[in-house]
Structures are given as structure tokens and as C-alpha cells.
Structure 1
């Protein structure tokens, strides 16, 4: 009986507060920030128990270790949601009538808010510990992400393109694993080599080829894109373009790193 009461109370909380249409953007951002804190602390606790190298790290290395654990959790979450909404649902399907640029749902808006909460949290840490957790390129990347995701969350416009771009977060766990292995002194391990190859392939697919498809889609749906508000219209072109340039520059570095690693491998 008590469990039934708690169940109804939880459902009422979700319906009347967390998922109430006017409150979704704000509660979701708050949820994202809280989840980031939880992921950060959980990474710290688990790492102290299961990874001996963690105790030998410097204070700033531990902070970065925990931060990368947090970012990996976000990447897995937002990639899964993005793939689900883009591929497994009809929200952005061509079978539906009406401009794809104006389609949204409570779930899609809530997930974007969680992502905004993450980028705000991570950006705050980057500023607080600058430049230990990243330089100007990371700040630019995160500011563009916050502005673009927050706009599409609040306006409901362009969520399809936002989720297509967010699929690129699938490369984050590989990047973080590379840092973990390097920090743990496993740069010569097979795991490091395999992860490097996976990172190269994932980056090529999710941050180069996928972006090309996004540009292709925008071109052939320009009549729908042009219906967006001016700010959203410009974001649709500016943000993917800037990120694509940054992705290409980073990809060249990854390519050089893979070549260097393979040349030294026995």
C-alpha cells in the first residue's frame, strides 16, 4: 500500500513539476547540473576503490579524472537519446507533415535541458581551473554548445539538427579513455592502440561525415530552415560550421597520433 502511494506521488511530481510544459526547460537544466555532480562524485568514489593509480594522482589530475568520468556519462546519455529520437521515433520522420525544423516533444526538450546543465557545469569547471581542464578552444566549443542547445530547448526550433550534432558526443568516451590509459601508464598497452583506432573511426564518422550529412540536409530543407526565427536561422549555419572546422583540425591531430602510434608499435 505504501509503495503504491509513493508511486503515485512520484508520478504526480513528474507530471506537475518536472515535466510540466512551462517548467521543462528550467527543471531539466537543474536536473542536468545535479546529475553532473552525482556523476563526478560517483567517479571519484568508484575510482578510489577500483583503480590503484587514482590515489597516486595529483589533486588537479584527480579533478580532471573525475571531470572526464562526468563527461563520459553525459556523452553516453545524450548519444543514446539522440539516436533514439532521430532513428527510433517518428518525431523527425519524413512521414510526418510539417517543417522538421519546428518539431519537438517534452522528452526531446527535457533531454536538451539536461545537456545544457552539463555544458554549464563543465564550462564552470574549465573557467575555475583554467587552463588545466582545457584552453580557449574548449571554451569556444562549450559556449557555442550552450547557446545553440539552450536556444533550441527554449524555442523548440531546430531540435533535429541539434540532436544530429549531439550524436558526435559518441567520440567523448574514447577520448577520455585515451587520457585515462595514458595517465595510468598504459600508453603501450593493446587497449590504448585499439582505443586509438576506435577513436579515429568514431571521429571520422560522427564528427566529419555526419556533419557533412547535416549540411546536405540543411541544403535540401532550406525552405523549412528559412522559416525559423533569425537567431535560430543563423545558429543553424554558424554553429555546425564552426564546430566542423574545429573537428577537422582535431581530426588531423588524431590522424597524426594514430600514424605515430602505429609506426612505433612492435
Structure 2
């Protein structure tokens, strides 16, 4: 694999961002515990495992918001990947210190979350989470070390935008609020968000890769074959989870319809 030079910038950004990601998880985990204990009456009554997962989802949400925001900025708002910018540099070769930093933070997050999943396995997540985190860490590490394909990895990172809705759904379920309007609205937002960020975005991902395949082929062999295999696996997982979301939403809507009908009778 052709690695980029480990220059002065990388010597600082790479290790610092990974450590920052781990520290972020620890800090938000503790902050979630303290805030929840003071602001949510039912938190102290939860069993130990539910408290751990509650706090875990706190730093999961924080990372998701940060990753989605940075990805959106670099992909849409900045000119890093603009067709008219960066002179003759091809898309797969473009990177910045911010994308490096975000990848490092995400690696720190995935390492922390994976460690917790393994420690409490399978109570914090099953084999599908191990596969998802493993593929994500592999792809991010490859892009970080090679400096290639940041555009595509940022698109994948943007899919984390759906995570807050997933976590809120879990919180509401645990709090016994499955019959609330907030649960319904969050479910609808999750459906739309997942459709846009994890289904339609991947269609664009593959279309862009097809249209720029001459550039994709310039990536070193391991990276090239990884681009051809890892995203399809992630998209397949997204489709499976989307099917479950659809079934859950239909089930919730049917229950609410029956509840409304019972009240009007």
C-alpha cells in the first residue's frame, strides 16, 4: 500500500485526533450520566446495564452529530471536492487536515464503542454491530493512512446523521413512551432520514464512483478493491435495517390507528 508521507502535520493530527475521539467518548459518557441523573427521574431507577447503554448512546449521539456536521461541511459547503477547485487534483486524492482529524476522532469513537460492545457482548449489540464497526474502522483507517478516497469515506460518515433518531427511539422505548406523539414523529424522521442518508445517498455514492471510475482505478490495489467491496456490504446492512424500520413504523401506525378507533367508538 502506498502510504502518504507521515509529515509534521500528520504526526500531530493523527494521534491527537484518535486520542481526542477516545477522550470525547469518556467525557460525554460521564456527562450523560451526571445530566441524566439530575434531569431524568427514571434514570436512577434503571438497572446497571440500562444505565451503561443509556450513557453509551450519549456519546454515540454526540459523535454522530459531529461526524455528520463535518462531513456536510467538507462535502457541500467547502470547495475541497468542487469540480472547479484544487487545480488538476482528482477527487480521490483530495484531503484536508479537517478530514484527517475527523477520521481520527471517528476511529477513537469506534474503538471505544467496540471495546464496550465486546466487554458487554451481546448486551450492547450483536454480531451485526461488530461487522459494522469493523468495516467502518477498516475503511477509515485505509483512507487516513493512504490519503485516498476521503470523498467517499465522508459520504459514509454522513450516514451517522441517522444515529440520534435511533438513540432517541431507544430512550423513548425504555421510558415507556412508545405510545407518545414524540415516538411517532421520531419514527417518521428516522424513516425519512434513513431513506435519504443511508439509501439514496448510497445510490449517489455508487453513481459517482461509476462516473469517476477512471479516478477510482488510480487508487492502490488494496484500496481499490476495498472501495468495490466495503460500501456494498454497508449498503446491504443499511437495507436490512431499513426493512426493520419500515416494519416497526407500520406496526406503530397500526397500533395508533386502532387506539384512535377505540376512543371514537
TM-score normalised by length of structure 1: 0.92
- Answering whether residue 167 of structure 2 is matched by residue 176 of structure 1, we say yes
The gaps in structure 1 that reach 5 residues or longer are 1-18
Q: Corresponding residue for 1:20?
A: 9
**Hey, what's the Cα distance between the residues in 1 that align with 2:60 and 2:202?**
21
Aligned residues: 248
Structure 2 counterparts to residues 140-219 of structure 1, below 5 A: 140-219=131-210
Q: What's the offset of the Cα at 1:245?
A: 0.4
| Structure possessing the higher relative contact order (Cα contacts under 8 Å, 6 or more residues apart) | 2
**Hey, what's the Cα distance between the residues in 2 that align with 1:94 and 1:68?**
38
Aligned partner of 1:246 among 222, 237, 258: 237
**Hey, what's the Cα distance between the residues in 2 that align with 1:24 and 1:233?**
25
Q: Corresponding residue for 2:220?
A: 229
Q: What's the offset of the Cα at 1:23?
A: 2.7
- Answering whether residue 124 of structure 2 is matched by residue 133 of structure 1, we say yes
Moved more, 88-97 or 120-129: 88-97
Aligned partner of 1:41 among 30, 38, 52: 30
TM-score normalised by length of structure 2: 0.92
C-alpha RMSD of matched pairs (Å) = 0.9
In 2, are the aligned partners of 1:25 and 1:154 still within 8 Å (CA)? no
Q: What secondary structure, in the 3-state scheme, does the structure 1 residue paired with 2:11 have? A: coil
- Answering whether residue 89 of structure 2 is matched by residue 98 of structure 1, we say yes
Aligned partner of 2:71 among 78, 82, 96: 82
In 2, are the aligned partners of 1:24 and 1:109 still within 8 Å (CA)? yes
**Hey, what's the Cα distance between the residues in 1 that align with 2:38 and 2:225?**
48
4+ residue segments displaced more than 2 Å? 19-23
* Structure 1 residues 180-239: Cα deviation after superposition (integer angstroms, max 9, x where no partner): 000011111110000000000000000000001000000000000000011111121211
Q: What's the offset of the Cα at 1:34?
A: 0.6
